[in-house]
Structure 1
Amino acid sequence: MPGGLYSLIDEPWIPVRWRAGVSGDRSAERVGLREVLTRSQDIAGLAVADAPAHAALLRVLYALTARVTGLDAGGPDWSDRRLDVLELGRLPAGRSGRKQPGVDGYFTEWRQRFFVFDPVGGRPWMQDARLAEQCDAGNTAGVNKLMVTRPAGNNHAWFRHGSDARPDLPTVGEAVLNLLVWHYWGPSGRCSAREVGGVKTASAVAGPLRTALSYHPEGESLFETLLAGLVPPRSAERRERDLCPWEWEELPDPDGAPLLPQGPCSRLTACSQHALLLVPDEEGRHVADAYITWAYRAGRMPRDDDFVIWQTSQQGNRYPRPADARRGLWRDLDALLLLKPSGSAQPVRPAVFRTAQEISERLRVRALGFDQDGQAKDVQFVDASTPTVFDLVEERAPRTAPAVGRLRSLGELFGWRLERAVKRAWTAYVDDPKADPGTWVGEAAGRYWPQAEAQFWRRFAGLDRDGVLDDAGLDVAEARKSFLRLAEEAYEAVTDTVIRTQRGAKAVSEARIELYGGARKPK
């Protein structure tokens, strides 16, 4: 089969952005895994358009970076060894000792496991070749189901028209990126039936990052980004047991419980709840069909990820902060920079941020995710980034850190007060407690939050990085007035159409007090 020749190591399938002023060939818009690692110092970043695919591919590259550098092994000198790689200025191409195989050494050892289609060895990359026999070949998922931006089945077409009977075939590279999205953000619920041990079932568990927002430190080059994204192994973790799926000696038993991750590499790549198999066209350059089903019948993988903000529900359950396309990234900043950020949800900073600041204080934060529900509804991709912020991480600037949280709190305070004010004004004006104030709330939010974000970043840029001034030089009273003024302007614009009537003017006037904290309760 020609498809067996498509190797992700050398075939150009990863979209990249090259750094300005870099010498050498920068004409290629896509590169393979070998080149993306060996030339990571020349690459500004990945150019993957779909946010969840971008985050998923980063996790694979983190694991490969740990392998080729030997940073998959822990120890008290782990940070020093990572700084040695940083000082080298590139990822090692050749082998340097048993624990540092280098890019070429690693891909030579595992060459056979990086083919997308592997009919001979039966181990196509991040797939399960057994599905060809365990699933019904006449009832496959199809490529429209595989491609997360396409409508499939009876769903509405939003971005493009398509037909399950005659779909546009994706390139192998496009299909692999969507394969990764399924592994990390795949839905729960009914899927293609899979028969194992004489029992046929068709129910999948949600992927490990379903609904979650993933936060990544981002440097001046992909090389810095990959090093900053590494997390040191925990004390009891051993690289010999910490395997990526393509390194497994045998595929896991789908009739049993999931294999628990044994270290950073398996946490990055081996927590999928879905099994997939791509079917090539005759030439092997496109994907013609796909099997998509469940990976394990018994139990589910524990949610343990180093790139999410963990929160605690009122019932005491731990869960990742969900992606919300309407929420600005600046509202999460104190939960990323501070050791103990405030909030009733008791947010915990992503583990990667504990050591990322060792690479550079010029790092930015990239947030990537999928606004979706826990089962099957997908809303919108989330892709946002900050300016350089790691110079204010609490370990580097402990005296300035509280100002970040205070500034965020002020911005959110007046956003919440604005929402209460327009809801109260609407209810009083229409004189119907069941009337939906959503139109006014949405318009007020659309006016306030973008302006509040600009105000936040302007004042954030002016904070004292040297720790000389009290409260990092933040004028709290002036910041409070600025956010209040934005809320007032939004409130006036939204309610302007009704103040020309007596009832409207009264409703708007009485509800305005919510912008200032509401009426004081008598003692």
Structure 2
Amino acid sequence: MTTSTFNLLDEPWIPVRWTPTELSSAVAGRPDRIGLRELLARSPEIAGLAIAEPPAHSALLRILYALTARVTGLDEAGPGDWGVRRADVRDAGELPPQGISDYLATYRHRFFLYDPDGGRPWMQDARLAHECDPDNTAGVNKLIVTRPSGNNHSWFEHTSDAAPGLPTASEAVLNLLVWHYYGPSGRCSSREVNGAKSASAKAGPLRTALSYHPEGETLFETLLAGLVPPKSTVKSAQDQCPWEWHDLPDPDAVPVAPAGPCARLTACSQHALLLVPQEPDGQWVRDAFITWAYRDGRIPRDDSFLIWQVSQQGNRYPRPADSGRALWRDLDALLLKESAGAAQPRRPRVFEYACEVSDYLRVRALGFEQEGQAKDTQFVDASTPPVVEFVERETARTALPVATLRQLGETYGRRLDRAVKRAWAQYVDDAKADAGTWAAQAGARYWPGAEAEFWHRFAQLDRTGADLGAGFDAAAARTAFLRLAMAAYDSVTDSVTRTQRGARAASDARIELYGGPRKKKQEHAGSAPRPVPAHGNDAKADHG
């Protein structure tokens, strides 16, 4: 094999997990990595992707959704009812073999990872070899997002720009996708187009965002559940993926808005990249060009797998990835059409249709906690039990219990945070004292227990619809979360209660767990003031 024959349809580069049934029936086991062709054909035998980096997992899923739409003909609304056609594919138990064969035969020449003759390597721009300085490339340490590059600190591994370890082709392709979807804004390699040099890129379409995906028992179910019906006006000839473009886009032109779901899934990158193979077979990558894709303008940011909410300034933005926030705290925003809160969160559009594929879909959250520019903090990867059957359209009676349960957990988490901060400030006699250590310790004690409590009570909700309240006991749930908050509060403040000053601070601040002191009402003239009760308001004090 040479670099010119390395084709991603056939080369094993995608890590997968096989279903237990497939593993038990295999005589000689199953490969850990496969190519795109085998992945699509054997998706019913694959449990899921085995990609360690969540942003790479999220990015590749979007590529696979687009390919699934193409090979099934679900990339257009017609002919016939789109939902019925998807159900037919589901009932067939596999992606159509003829559809896979026809589509991959048509575009096989666009899935070569390298093109030494300056052609169209997959998801890359061969023009960079001439438009960027070949003596000032980004390098493989910059390409691999878990490596430090330049003067950055080490994160997951120690490497040197002077002697970088060469990544495999599989690792390089997955990180290529991370750059397309999660790449930073700001300074990049200089690129000269039409005589003008620029070195500034815009952030990728998923930068900072948390992505939510319906996940089935097999990859086949996951891919079908991830499809969203196109508008009736969408035509596949205009709704193109990058490997389907007749020509590469003009970097000096304003980028064209996506014409449909396939372009929205795959063609919204603000970065241009080119991999340089290690000869002779391309199994390793020795260098990379990374720069901007468009000098001016920005592709409209939209995605069917994000929770969209509204800022105080009225701007629409996706819910950011937060490695310290458990997935259950987003559950009502995933299942309810309009969940409570000033941010007006709207559930990802994909969940309006996912339940039509299976009643036993989980939710997988994938993301990258990072800033708009260079700073990356942590990966985010979480999964729920099967919950998609509880979407509001299907079981509306569970809507209020799920929302209330989440709100109660959040409410007592906020109260605990206020309580320990107030206790610390009173103990040190400084209202501006930094109580970050106590707050972190309290959160570390409360949130894992709150998550377990949430899922325990969620599992007890009535699925039959016989109970108008879904069998939810709000008072018992409130008591349970309060007890968890009290236990965390006592554990954190215990070290100072051996002194009179510390005991008074802990005692005075405890009222925050009950919502804080009740505000005094305006007294009528001449009437005696009313005593303040021992405990303040409950959930109403937090609007929770």
TM-score (ref. length: structure 2): 0.94
Structure 2: give runs of 5+ residues left out of the alignment. Answer: 522-544
Counterpart pick for 2:44 among 41, 44, 51:
41
Which residue of structure 1 lines up, in the alignment, with residue 8 of structure 2? 8
What does the per-residue CA deviation read over 1:11-63, in whole Å, with 9 as the maximum and x for residues that have no partner?
A: 00000000011245642000000011000000000000000000000000000
Q: Aligned-pair distance for 1:459?
A: 0.3
Whether the 8 Å contact between 1:18 and 1:26 is mirrored in structure 2 is no
1:427 paired with 2:425, answer yes
Deviations 1:303-352 (A, max 9, x none): 11010000001111000000000000000000111111111100011010
- What aligned pairs does 1:480-495 form with structure 2 within 5 A after superposition? 480-495=478-493
Report which of the two structures shows the higher radius of gyration computed on alpha carbons: 2
Aligned residues: percent identity? 68
Q: Displacement of 1:2 after TM fit?
A: 2.3
- Is 2:351–2:388's contact at 8 Å kept on the other side of the alignment? no
Q: Are 2:174 and 1:177 equivalent residues in the alignment?
A: yes
3-state SS in 1 of match to 2:381: strand
Deviation for aligned residue 1:393: 1.1
In the alignment, structure 1 residue 56 sits paired with structure 2 residue 53: no
Write the distance in 2 (CA, Å) between the matches of 1:455 and 1:203: 47
Distance 1:175 1:426 in 2: 49
Q: Displacement, 1:119? A: 2.1
Identify the match of residue 375 of structure 2 among 369, 374, 377: 377
Measure how far apart 1:496 and its partner are: 0.5
Contact 2:118 2:126 survives alignment (8 Å)? no
Q: Does the 8 Å CA contact 2:461/2:472 hold for their aligned counterparts? A: yes
| Partner deviation per Cα, 1:206-260 (whole Å, 9 max, x = no partner) | 0000000000000010000000000110132221100000000000000111121
After TM superposition, the structure 1 stretch with the greater mean CA deviation from structure 2, 353-362 or 21-30, is 21-30
Q: Residue 195 of structure 1 corresponds to which residue in structure 2?
A: 192
In the alignment, residue 513 of structure 2 is paired with which amino acid? L
Shift, 1:115, TM fit = 0.4
Post-superposition Cα deviations, 1:98-134, rounded to whole Å, max 9, x if no partner, equal xxxx111111100110001012361000000000000
Worse overlay, 440-449 or 466-475: 466-475
Is the counterpart of residue 455 in structure 1 residue 440 in structure 2? no
Q: Secondary structure at the match of 2:342?
A: coil
Amino acid of the structure 1 residue aligned with 2:217? E
Pairwise CA distance, 1:453 = 0.2
Matched, 1:145 2:148: no
Aligned to 2:513: 515
Matched, 1:312 2:310: yes
1:395 Cα deviation after fit: 1.3
- Give unpaired runs (5+ residues) of structure 1: 95-101
Q: Equivalent residue of 1:472, what SS?
A: coil
**What is the rounded CA distance, in whole Å, between the counterparts of 2:197 and 2:155 in structure 1?**
34
Contact 2:76 2:232 in 1 (8 A): no
- Using the TM superposition, give the Cα deviation of residue 288 of structure 1 relative to its aligned residue in structure 2, in angstroms: 0.3
**Residue aligning to 2:20:** 20
Q: Secondary structure at the match of 1:57?
A: helix
Per-residue deviation, residues 382-401 of structure 1 (Å, max 9, x unmatched): 00000000221111111122
8 Å CA contact 1:391–1:465 kept in 2: the answer is no
Q: 1:30 aligns with which of 26, 30, 33?
A: 33
| Residue 468 of structure 1: aligned partner | 466
1:301, distance to aligned residue in structure 2 (A): 1.1
CA offset digits 1:400-440 (Å, max 9, x no partner) = 22110010000000000000001100111111223211000
1:88 maps to which residue? 92
* C-alpha contact (below 8 Å) 1:273/1:294 kept by paired residues: yes
**RMSD of equivalent CA atoms:** 1.0
Q: Secondary structure of 1:360's match?
A: coil
Q: Which residue of 2 aligns with 1:97?
A: none
**Partner residue of 2:215?**
218
Question: Does structure 1 conserve the Cα–Cα contact (< 8 Å) formed by 2:401 and 2:472?
Answer: yes
**Alignment partner of 1:298: what SS?**
coil
What is the deviation of 1:509? Answer: 0.5
1:148-297 aligned at under 5 Å gives the runs 148-283=145-280, 284-297=282-295
Distance 1:441 1:366 in 2: 28
Q: Aligned equivalents of 1:121 and 1:146: distance in 2?
A: 20
Alignment partner of 1:300: what SS? coil
> Residues of 2 paired with 1:62 and 1:363: CA distance?
16
Amino acid at match of 2:93: G
Task: Determine the structure 2 residue equivalent to 1:368.
Answer: 366
CA distance in 2 between partners of 1:217 and 1:343 (Å):
24
Note the alpha carbon deviations across 1:422-478, whole angstroms, 9 max, x for none.
Answer: 110011111122321100000000000010000000000000011111321011000
Report how many aligned residue pairs link the two structures. 516
Query: What SS is found at the alignment partner of 1:279?
Result: strand
